[in-house]
Amino acid sequence: MNVTCISSSNILHQKEGTSYRICKMISDSLRSVNADIDLSIIELKNYDLSPCIGCGKCYETKRCSIDDNFNNIYNKLVDSDIVFIVSPHYAPIPAKLCMLLEKMEQITFLHWGKDNAYKSEMFGKIAGIISHGGGAKWALKSYKLMVNDTIANALDTIQIKVVPYNEDWKTGISLPVKNIIISDNNIFPIQEYDFNYLYSEIQNYIEKVIEFYNNY
Ligand SMILES: Cc1cc2nc3c(=O)[nH]c(=O)nc-3n(C[C@H](O)[C@H](O)[C@H](O)COP(=O)(O)O)c2cc1C
| Mean pLDDT of all residues in 89-110 | 97
| Mean pLDDT of all residues in 160-184 | 97
| Cα-to-centroid distance, 140 and ligand 1 (Å) | 13
Q: Please name the residue whose Cα sits nearest to atom 11 of ligand 1.
A: 134
| Mean pLDDT of all residues in 2-6 | 98
Q: Please name the residue whose Cα sits nearest to atom 30 of ligand 1.
A: 90
pLDDT confidence bin for 33, thresholds 50/70/90: confident
The pLDDT of residue 39 is: 96
Q: Please name the residue whose Cα sits nearest to atom 17 of ligand 1.
A: 133
Identify the residue with better confidence: 183 or 172.
172
| Cα-to-centroid distance, 76 and ligand 1 (Å) | 26
The closest-lying atom of ligand 1 relative to the alpha carbon of residue 86 is 26
The pLDDT of residue 35 is: 76
User: What percent of the chain shows pLDDT beyond 70?
Assistant: 100
| Cα-to-centroid distance, 87 and ligand 1 (Å) | 9
Q: DSSP letter at 86? A: E
> How far is residue 178's CA from residue 158's CA, in Å, rounded to a whole number?
34
| Cα-to-centroid distance, 81 and ligand 1 (Å) | 29
pLDDT confidence bin for 13, thresholds 50/70/90: confident
CATH class, domain 2-215, is alpha beta
pLDDT confidence bin for 57, thresholds 50/70/90: very high
| Cα-to-centroid distance, 5 and ligand 1 (Å) | 19
Protein residues whose CB sits closer than 6 Å to any atom of ligand 1: 9, 11, 17-19, 88-91, 132-135, 139, 191
The pLDDT of residue 15 is: 85
* Cβ-based burial of 56 (10 A; exposed 0-12, middle 13-18, buried ≥19): exposed
Q: C-alpha distances in angstroms, 70 versus 23, 26, 155, 169?
A: 20, 23, 16, 29
The closest-lying atom of ligand 1 relative to the alpha carbon of residue 135 is 11
| Cα-to-centroid distance, 132 and ligand 1 (Å) | 8
Q: Please name the residue whose Cα sits nearest to atom 1 of ligand 1.
A: 90
> How far is residue 7's CA from residue 25's CA, in Å, rounded to a whole number?
12
pLDDT confidence bin for 147, thresholds 50/70/90: very high
Nearest alpha carbon to residue 100 among 114, 112, 89, 85: 85
pLDDT(89) > 80: yes
Give the residue ranges of DSSP H helices in 38-139: 58-61, 68-78, 95-114
Q: What is the pLDDT of residues 74-86, one digit of tens each?
A: 999 999 999 999 9
Domain boundaries, the chain: 2-215
| Cα-to-centroid distance, 57 and ligand 1 (Å) | 34
> How far is residue 7's CA from residue 9's CA, in Å, rounded to a whole number?
6
pLDDT(34) > 90: no
The pLDDT of residue 14 is: 83
Mean pLDDT of all residues belonging to the chain: 96
| Mean pLDDT of all residues in 154-175 | 98
